[in-house]
Amino acid sequence: MATSDRNSSIQISVETHYLAEQSEPEGSRYVFAYTVTIRNAGRAGAQLLNRHWIITDANGKVQQVEGEGVVGEQPHIGPGQAHRYSSGAVLETPVGTMEGSYGMQDDEGQSFRAPIPRFRLAVPGVLH
């Protein structure tokens, strides 16, 4: 996919939550939920076609996840609009990071990648 200046018009923010009730620390299973807000600050609409995630735990184990859309949708985000969705990740350590990109296509048919800035997944109280 070609990269263009269009990706700077897509702004991505993420909120994370540790799900203690679904986690099993004694079994090295830490479950996190995250909510992503994708805001279109550009002048043209764009559709989210696919995703690419890089998930890294504190041991340096990397998982790459690719697929169509997000949570079964390929949303079209008009100028000034936002799309919000929630999903989850499971790590073997109490701390990790996620980052990646969304494959987008604007209303003129131009494809571009919108980078997802790295964010931290952490059990509360683990980091100071």
pLDDT tens sequence for the chain (128 residues): 334 455 569 999 999 999 999 999 999 999 999 999 999 999 999 999 999 999 999 999 999 999 999 999 999 999 999 999 999 999 999 999 999 999 999 999 999 999 999 999 999 987 65
- Please report, for the domain that includes residue 87, its CATH number: 2.60.40.1470
Residue 75, domain member (yes or no): yes
**Look-up of token digits 């041991």:** 59
Nearest to 123 by CA among 14, 51, 16, 49: 16
Q: Is residue 126 part of a domain?
A: no
Q: Is residue 124 part of a domain?
A: no
**Number of structural domains, the chain?**
1
What letter does residue 6 receive in the DSSP assignment?
Answer: G
Q: Which residues contact 28 (CB under 8 A, 6 or more apart)?
A: 92, 93
Range of the domain at 107: 5-119
How many alpha carbons lie under 13 Å from residue 58 in its C-beta half-sphere?
A: 13
In a domain, 115, yes or no: yes
The answer as to whether 90 is a domain residue is yes
